[in-house]
Amino acid sequence: MKGEGESMPRSVVSDAHPPSVVFDLIDLACIAIAAIVAVSVVLNDHNAVRAVSALIFVVFVPGRSVVANWPTIATRSHVAVSVLFSLALLTLVATAALWGHFWHPLGLLEAECVVTAGVLVAGILRRHWAQDHGPVRSSLQIEQNP
């Protein structure tokens, strides 16, 4: 049959959106979730929006900030790795706060929202910088590959 052994070009098979646009949208949604959580904590709102956005934040957003800035992890499942890193990081931060006798859950949540949003913005900027100027190389890579 005609066309059975032929392969289609990658450009025809690929999605309509390049991966960086999809990753930017995910990162912007995560920044919006962090902002919603921070604002609802500051305003002391006790509603379903705060509960759902806090759950999404705790389970996904801090891990996404790590995955967005770690290009070698891009070959793995972004959702699974983000959940893993989120739960591990927030557990580590909470444990360190308890050991350091600084247990203020709402203050920690606000700080985590601000730091996470900043790291996500840095990830977006890094990704666009790499698209425009090539990947960023460390000083060790530059010395080894002149």
102 occurs within a structural domain = yes
29 occurs within a structural domain = yes
Summarize pLDDT for 13-58 with one digit per residue, the tens: 445 556 778 889 999 999 999 999 999 999 998 899 999 999 999 9
Summarize pLDDT for 66-106 with one digit per residue, the tens: 998 887 886 678 889 999 999 999 999 999 999 999 989 98
146 occurs within a structural domain = no
Domain count, the chain: 1
Summarize pLDDT for 95-140 with one digit per residue, the tens: 999 999 998 998 999 999 999 999 999 999 988 887 777 655 555 4
Range of the domain at 60: 18-132
- According to the model, what pLDDT value does residue 2 have? 53
31 occurs within a structural domain = yes
138 occurs within a structural domain = no
Confidence of residue 12 (pLDDT cuts 50, 70, 90): very low
139 occurs within a structural domain = no
- Going by C-alpha positions, the residue among 58, 20, 63, 21 that lies closest to residue 36 is 58
87 occurs within a structural domain = yes
d(CA 137, CA 135) in angstroms, rounded, equals: 6
Which sign does the torsion angle of CA 81, 92, 28, 124 carry?
negative
Tokens of 46: 């006790």
Confidence of residue 5 (pLDDT cuts 50, 70, 90): low
**Phi and psi dihedrals of 5, rounded to 5?**
-90, -5
* DSSP string of 59-121, one letter each residue: HHHHHHHHHHT-GGGGGS-HHHHHHHHHHHHHHHHHHHHHHTT---HHHHHHHHHHHHHHHHH
**Residue 142 or residue 28, greater confidence:** 28
Tokens of 1: 């049959």
5 occurs within a structural domain = no
Q: Judge whether residue 144 has pLDDT over 80.
A: no
